[in-house]
Structure 1
Amino acid sequence: MELRQLEYFLMLCEEMQFTRAAERLNIAQPTLSQQIKVLENEVNTPLFHRIGKKITLTEAGQILYRQAQTIFKTLHTTKIQMQQLASLEKGILRIGALPGELTNIVSDLVLKFMHKFPHIQVTVTSGEDIHTLLKNNKIDIGFSFSPLIENYDEQFVEIPLYTEQFCYVESKDSAAQHEPVQLRDILNEPLVLFPNAHLCRRILNAAAKSDKLSIEPKFETSSIPAIFQFVEQGLGGTIVAKTLFDLHVSDKLHAHIIQHPLLERETLLIYQKERLQSPAFKAFLDLLEPALTNYQLSFSANSL
C-alpha cells in the first residue's frame, strides 16, 4: 500500500466520481481506476459499491477512509514538527559537564542560549565521566578537561576550546606575593584546598610530585564557597583554576598566576563522531565561541 494510492483513494472519497477525482489529481481516469483496483486487490476486499456511474463506500472503504485521514494528518504534523526543529522553534539539547566551575560556565552559556532560542528544551547533566554519558546516549554534547582524557577514542570528536592556568588566591589584606609566583614558594603558605579526589587537587598533586614537593593543607573542603570564604577571612590561600576564581571574583581577593608547565588544563568540547547532530546542537556551537570570549578565555587556534 503506497501513499500515492491512499491519496488517490481519499480524493475519490471526496468527489465520489472517478472523472472529477482524476481531473483534480491531474491524471487520466483509467490510471485512477487501475490504482484503486490495485488497492482493493491488496486489501482483498472492495472499497466502493459501484452502481452505474455512482459509487459509495463499502464498510471496508469507510474503515480505510478514517485510517487514511489519520495517516495524512500524522504526516502533516510530522512535517510541521520537523520544520520546527530546523527553524529552532522546537527541539531538545542535552549537555554534560564535569562538576564544579565547568558546570557553572556551561549553565551560564545555557542561559544565553535559552534567551536566544526559548522554545528549545535544554538539560545540563553534571557527571565525572562525560564519555560514558555520551556512549549511553544520556547527553548530546559534553565538556571535560584534557588531563582526564587518558586514551583517545576514535568514536568521539574532541575540540580544544581554551587553555587556562592555575592561580594562587589570597586575601588582599595579606597579599604579599609578586607576579608571577612559583609553586615552591606557595606550598610554604597555609593553604585551603580541595580534597585529593577533586580534579584541581589532582592536577596540583601531580605538579608538586614532579618538583618533589609535599602538600600539607591547613584545611580541605569540597565546598567552593567555603574555600573562598576562608581565604577572604585571611585563614590561608588557595590554588584553583583561573576560571573558578573569575566566577567567584571578590574585591577582597587577589589572584596570582602560577608559573608551572603542569598547572594548566585544556577544556574540551566532546561529541560522538557518527551521531547526526540536530539544529539545536549546531546553534549551540555557533553561540559557544563568542559567549566564552566574554569570559576572556584564550581559545586554541582554529578550535571551532
Structure 2
Amino acid sequence: MPKTDAILSAKSLHYFLQLIDTMNYTQAAQILGITQPALTQQIKKLEHTIGTPLFGQMGKKLYLTEAGKEMESGAKILLDTINSVVDNIQEFTQADKGNISIGILENIGTEVMRKFLVKFNQKFPNITLKVRYFNHEDLWHKLDNNLVDLAVMYLPDSTKNNHTDLQNQYDHLDIYRDKMLVLTHKDTVKAGQAYPVSRFTKRKWVAYPSDSYLSQLMKKYFTNKNKLIVPISFSSTKQLISTAQETNYDTFINKSYYESHKKNIKLTPVYLKGDKDFSISLVYRKGKKEIPRIKNILNEWKKFLDNIDYSSRLEGKE
C-alpha cells in the first residue's frame, strides 16, 4: 500500500486540521469526540509516515513546523475537494436522504431551532443531522471551508475579513431581528428603556470572550478612555447571567435569549441609545439550495415559522 493511502484519509486530514484550529490536543480531541491519546497516536502516525515533525512545542504551546505549514495547505485543498465530491454525489440523491451539518454560534439561544430539528427528524428520519456549536471565529472558518452546510449566526457581521466574499459567496435567510440587551443592577433605570452608554462606563461586567460578536459590538460603544472592564468572561450565556446575578457585575446578552428566559432573570433589562439591531440568520454557501436535502430543510424551516413565528415561539406561545 502506498504511504499516501495510509495517511491521506478524510479522517486523518480532519484530525490534523482540527488540531491546528485549537493548537491543543485535549480541546481538539473533545471537539472530535475521541480521546486525547487516540488523537496523539494519529498525529504521530502522520509524522512517522512523512518522516518529519508536523508540530513543534515551545513550553506548553504547540506551533506548526515548516513541514506542518506545507501539510496544512495541502490538507485544506484535499479535504475541500473530498467534501465537494461528496456534495456533488449527494446532489443527485433524493431530498429525504443524506447528511446535513449545522453550525450554531454558541451564544445564540437555540431552543426554537432544537424543536424544529426534532420535528424535521421525525418527518425525514433518513436525513442525518449533525449540530455543533462554535465561537464566532471557528464558525466562519467551518463555513469558509465547507465543513458546515448551514450556519446560524448574527448579521451584519463587520468582523468578517472580506465583505466581498460574504456578499458573493453566501446567501442567508433572516430568522429574527435581534438586539443587544444590557442586564444591570442599577436601580436608577427603568426596564425596557434606552440609556446613553455614559451611564454604564464605570460599571464592571461579566461578558462573553472578547472576540465574540456581542463583545465586539459592546466595545464600539466604549471609548479608549472608558474601556470595557471585564473581570470574568464566559462563552455560556447561562453561566454569564448566573454570575452577574451572584455578583455586582452587569452583563449584556441578546434580546432573543432574554425573551426565552426572562422568568429566571432578576436583573433590569435596558438598551443602549443608538444601538442598532441585527439579525439571527441562516447562512450558507451559494449553490447549497441546489442540493435537494438543503433545499428541503430550508423549505421546512419556512413552513415551521409560517405556522408560528419565531418571536411567539421564543415566548413559548406554541
TM-score (norm 2): 0.55
1:200 and 2:211 matched: no
Contact (CA 8 Å) 2:112, 2:310: kept in 1 or not?
no
1:149 and 2:160 matched: yes
Whole-angstrom CA distance in 1 between matches of 2:212 and 2:91: 43
1:58-207 map, 5 Å: 85-86=94-95, 88=96, 90-101=97-108, 106-127=113-134, 128-145=137-154, 146-147=156-157, 148-150=159-161, 151-153=163-165, 154-170=168-184, 176-178=188-190, 179-182=192-195, 183-207=197-221
Whole-angstrom CA distance in 1 between matches of 2:265 and 2:151: 34
Whole-angstrom CA distance in 2 between matches of 1:82 and 1:199: 33
Whole-angstrom CA distance in 2 between matches of 1:175 and 1:116: 49
Per the TM alignment, residue 240 of structure 1 is displaced from its structure 2 partner at its CA by 1.3
Whole-angstrom CA distance in 2 between matches of 1:141 and 1:199: 18
Per the TM alignment, residue 165 of structure 1 is displaced from its structure 2 partner at its CA by 1.0
Name the structure 2 match of 1:76. none
Name the structure 2 match of 1:71. none
Whole-angstrom CA distance in 1 between matches of 2:313 and 2:220: 24
Question: Judging changes above 3 Å, is the alpha-carbon distance between structure 1 residues 272 and 169 closer, same or farther for their aligned structure 2 residues?
Answer: same
Contact (CA 8 Å) 1:166, 1:258: kept in 2 or not?
yes
Name the structure 2 match of 1:243. 256
Name the structure 1 match of 2:29. none
The one of 274, 280, 283 equivalent to 1:270 is: 283
Question: Judging changes above 3 Å, is the alpha-carbon distance between structure 1 residues 224 and 252 closer, same or farther for their aligned structure 2 residues?
Answer: closer
Question: Judging changes above 3 Å, is the alpha-carbon distance between structure 1 residues 284 and 187 closer, same or farther for their aligned structure 2 residues?
Answer: farther
Question: Judging changes above 3 Å, is the alpha-carbon distance between structure 1 residues 250 and 276 closer, same or farther for their aligned structure 2 residues?
Answer: closer
- The total of aligned residue pairs comes to 213
Whole-angstrom CA distance in 2 between matches of 1:130 and 1:217: 24
Per the TM alignment, residue 82 of structure 1 is displaced from its structure 2 partner at its CA by 9.8
Question: Judging changes above 3 Å, is the alpha-carbon distance between structure 1 residues 294 and 265 closer, same or farther for their aligned structure 2 residues?
Answer: closer
Whole-angstrom CA distance in 1 between matches of 2:211 and 2:169: 28
Question: Judging changes above 3 Å, is the alpha-carbon distance between structure 1 residues 83 and 136 closer, same or farther for their aligned structure 2 residues?
Answer: closer
Whole-angstrom CA distance in 1 between matches of 2:203 and 2:91: 59
Whole-angstrom CA distance in 2 between matches of 1:225 and 1:271: 28
Name the structure 1 match of 2:19. none
Whole-angstrom CA distance in 2 between matches of 1:156 and 1:175: 44
Name the structure 2 match of 1:8. none
One-letter amino acid matched to 1:92? N
Name the structure 1 match of 2:228. 215
1:293 and 2:309 matched: yes
Contact (CA 8 Å) 1:203, 1:263: kept in 2 or not?
no
Contact (CA 8 Å) 2:112, 2:313: kept in 1 or not?
no
Contact (CA 8 Å) 2:182, 2:272: kept in 1 or not?
no
Question: Judging changes above 3 Å, is the alpha-carbon distance between structure 1 residues 130 and 222 closer, same or farther for their aligned structure 2 residues?
Answer: closer
Question: Judging changes above 3 Å, is the alpha-carbon distance between structure 1 residues 192 and 134 closer, same or farther for their aligned structure 2 residues?
Answer: closer
Contact (CA 8 Å) 1:168, 1:186: kept in 2 or not?
no
One-letter amino acid matched to 2:103? G
Per the TM alignment, residue 114 of structure 1 is displaced from its structure 2 partner at its CA by 1.8
Whole-angstrom CA distance in 2 between matches of 1:276 and 1:165: 28
Per the TM alignment, residue 238 of structure 1 is displaced from its structure 2 partner at its CA by 1.0
Question: Judging changes above 3 Å, is the alpha-carbon distance between structure 1 residues 133 and 293 closer, same or farther for their aligned structure 2 residues?
Answer: same
Whole-angstrom CA distance in 1 between matches of 2:252 and 2:124: 37
* Superposition CA RMSD, Å: 3.4
Q: Which runs of 5+ in 2 are unaligned?
A: 1-89
Question: Judging changes above 3 Å, is the alpha-carbon distance between structure 1 residues 297 and 256 closer, same or farther for their aligned structure 2 residues?
Answer: farther
Whole-angstrom CA distance in 2 between matches of 1:248 and 1:190: 23
1:251-266 map, 5 Å: 251-266=264-279
Contact (CA 8 Å) 2:179, 2:255: kept in 1 or not?
yes
Contact (CA 8 Å) 2:143, 2:284: kept in 1 or not?
yes
Name the structure 2 match of 1:78. none
One-letter amino acid matched to 1:140? D
Contact (CA 8 Å) 2:175, 2:310: kept in 1 or not?
no
1:37-62 deviations in Å (ceiling 9; x for gaps) = xxxxxxxxxxxxxxxxxxxxxxxxxx
Per the alignment, in what secondary structure is the counterpart of residue 148 of structure 2?
coil
Contact (CA 8 Å) 1:205, 1:215: kept in 2 or not?
yes
Name the structure 2 match of 1:43. none
1:55-89 deviations in Å (ceiling 9; x for gaps) = xxxxxxxxxxxxxxxxxxxxxxxxxx999824x2x
Per the TM alignment, residue 282 of structure 1 is displaced from its structure 2 partner at its CA by 2.2
Whole-angstrom CA distance in 2 between matches of 1:284 and 1:140: 11
